[in-house]
Amino acid sequence: MKQFVDYLAEELNDASLQVSVDVNDPMVRADINQGLMDLDKQFLSAEAGLEMLRSILSRYGADFSFSIEAEMPDEDYEFEEVVSIEGTDYFLYINYGLTDDGYYEFYSEIIDEDELEEIMSIGGEDYEEE
């Protein structure tokens, strides 16, 4: 069994995000995270939520050198993606899932390694090696 945080570390090898602003600046991070609060709504499809995420991040010159394919989670599954932000020690955390009403809810935030570990410890799930 492998811890989820170890599983994510392997998955992060190719995923990266470039932005044209200084994410190391706490005011810039706060501004981006405030913008990401626009995701706090329900979407009819996962694609619509991901498009909104791309739109919000494009305000900060985000270069998507990674691909997120819209996965269709069911009510027992939440999709999580962690993307490193190039040139920083920060990550873009993305989480979405299907509600009981059939809508998609999204959450995204710029986080540091400590916050990532905290998020991963909440689930505390083990993942089987494939």
Judge whether 128 lies within some domain: no
pTM over 0.85: no
The residue among 96, 66, 57, 98 whose CA lies nearest residue 80 is 96
- pLDDT score, position 91: 92
Judge whether 38 lies within some domain: yes
- pLDDT score, position 129: 38
Judge whether 37 lies within some domain: yes
The tally of domains found in the chain comes to 1
> For the chain (length 130 residues), average pLDDT per consecutive 10?
49 63 91 91 87 88 64 66 88 88 90 89 52
- pLDDT score, position 30: 94
Cα(74)–Cα(17) distance, rounded to whole angstroms? 27
Structural domain boundaries enclosing 113: 2-122
Q: Locate tokens 């009819």: which residue?
A: 44
The helix/strand/coil state of 121 is: helix
- pLDDT score, position 126: 44
